[in-house]
Chain A
Amino acid sequence: MTEPVRVALPKGRLGEKVLGLFTEAGFPCPEALADTRKLIFENPDKNVCFFWVKPSDVAIYVERGAADIGVAGKDILLEYEPDVFELLDLGTGVCRLAVAGPKEFRDSPERTLRVATKFSHVATEYYRRLGRDIDIIHLNGSIELAPLLGLSDVIVDIVETGKTLKENGLEVFETIVPVSARLIANPSAYQFKQTPITEITNALKEIVS
């Protein structure tokens, strides 16, 4: 038996959707959804094993070779630029990285724009391209709070429906990039497990296209 393909899945709703795609593509693993303390779940018939990790850690597991493939949001790939192959757009977890702020906010190029975000790299690159002087305020959560309390002028964050923003008197000013879940692979694992990785990729492609 050859080594199984190790798949890192993002914990949470997105991961469950993705596991559904794997199941539909012929790589099921019902045990992974069971209420258990197990950390690694195998499908010996298909020679794959799955494990759940924090969504922002998937790319790290794959880049460092602990997982051969994984599913990560495009936002994470743009922010951390891991050395991984991006094999497929799974078309799920669709949202966008956007600039948002209080409805009444009017930007003045005369002053430095204060930007609160989890995505410092993406935000810096975006404003660098625009030639805009900014002050990045890196936060790890509750980003929407920053402009409400005067910590920042605007935020750069993931926007799915925009409902949370609306409820807090915020609105989207600009979409930076559309985001969806991507199938990623470690470049070295790809060389040694190319046949099974390609099989999985093609089977998923059939489902999502």
Chain B
Amino acid sequence: MIDERLLRSEERVVLTLRDLYRRHGYACFKMSKFEEYDLYGQNKDFLVSDSVITFTDTDGKLMALKPDVTLSIVKNHRDGTEQRVYYDENVYRISKSTHNYRELLQTGLEAMGRLSEFDLTEVAELAAQSLAAVSPDAVLTLSDLGVLNAALAPVESGEQRAALLGCLQRKNAHGISELCRTFGLGTGIGERLALLAQSGTTEIPDALWRQFADGPAAEALTRLERIAERVRKSTPVRITFDFSLVSDMNYYNGIVFRGYLRGIPAPVLRGGQYDKLMQKLGKSDGAIGFAVYLDLLERLTETDPYDADVLLLYAPDAPVEAVRAEAEALRAAGKSVCARVNEPEGMRFREILRAEGGGKND
């Protein structure tokens, strides 16, 4: 049995999540650290960061250190088969804060095949349970891009759409109104988008139901509400609806979600339905998945202020067996023991004991 105290927080979470995913019939997907660069070059917008570490392989092929896992998994999917896989892999991305490449541990899962509402619910539920495995003080925000699509339908220009989406994902309602005025778009579009920007509550606001009373958006809202209800029953995580979630609409469609943990300033979980990516890669199956960014969990780790429970000081001429026996006795009592002749510099101990096993010590 492994002593959990020996594990780093992300290692502990990985073990818990592996067990969670395995119990839901997901198989472990192990992959190579490298991938042909073309896969990322052709789908740059799908990546969180578009910078990739590349190198030329011995056969002249341009290779990349994986910046993402989903693309590698999807690429290998055989259409018409049902695949449920999870992974925990290192990926290599530029850190926004340091502007340098970092190796990041990422875990997550992907469900591919002919997906039903059961599958979508299960993945949303697993996303919530993944957050709960770290801390129950978590929020999973859900959206359906069908609603956003309906709100943006009258906007034909790609540039205008991009500008509006930029404001929406920042919940910048005043920016949306300003853009609608500048672009000469009807006030109705601005009002709808502003409503989406201001969402983020545990209930779908009445105003939103009124704005999207019929058609695919209404169906999307109804389905999302059903899924949220089911997820709420199985997890302590707070479930909210936030229609300002914007994932690249060239790849994502349908349900999208993001997970937050109290004390961590950025989302630790991102995911959603990405049927459009499947289509881009020549597949007709549907797909949904999410990733948990384990590097962010470091912030939740409480550092032990001590290097060991006991510093056992012994005299240089103390009988070895006596000191060993004394240290073992302390360890048997559940304490970590560091036995030294002198107090080591820069280390802290809960208590300092002098070995009684003889010898001279001052």
- The residues of A with any CB-CB pair to B shorter than 8 Å are 63-65, 83-89, 185-192, 194
Contacts and interface: CB of A to CB of B under 8 A. Distances in A.
A86 B175 contact: yes
A188 B175 contact: no
**Candidate in A86, A89, A190 with the most chain B CB atoms within 10 angstroms:** A86
Contacts of A86: 167, 170-172, 175
Interface string B168-182: 001110110000000
B334 interface: no
Interface of B: 96, 137, 139, 141, 167, 170-172, 174-175, 200-201, 238, 240, 260-267
Contact of B267 (A85, A185, A188, A189): A188
Contacts, number: 50
Given A64-B265, A85-B170, 8 more contacts: A84-B170, A85-B172, A87-B172, A89-B174, A187-B266, A188-B260, A191-B139, A194-B201
Nearest to B167: A86
Contact of B139 (A88, A185, A192): A192
Task: Tell me the dominant secondary structure on chain A's binding face.
Answer: mixed
Given A85-B170, A86-B170, A190 B200 contact: yes
A85 B200 CA distance: 12
B57 to A, nearest CB: 34
A174 to B, nearest CB: 17
A83 B265 CA distance: 10
Contacts of A64: 265
Nearest to B175: A86
Nearest to B171: A85
B265 A63 contact: yes
A188 B170 contact: no
User: Which of B141, B265, B266 lies at the interface centre, i.e. has the most chain A CB atoms within 10 A of its CB?
Assistant: B265
A87 B173 CA distance: 7
A106 B240 CA distance: 56
22 contacts: A63-B265, A64-B265, A65-B264, A65-B265, A83-B96, A83-B266, A85-B170, A85-B171, A86-B171, A86-B175, A188-B261, A188-B265, A188-B266, A191-B139, A191-B141, A191-B200, A191-B238, A191-B240, A192-B137, A192-B262, A194-B200, A194-B201
Contacts of B240: 191
Contacts of B264: 65, 188
Contact of A87 (B139, B141, B171, B238): B171
Nearest to B258: A187
Contacts of B201: 194
Contacts of A188: 260-262, 264-267
A186 B265 contact: yes
Nearest to A77: B170
Contacts of A63: 265
B205 to A, nearest CB: 13
Nearest to A88: B174
Contacts of A186: 265
B267 A187 contact: yes
Contacts of A191: 139, 141, 200, 238, 240, 260
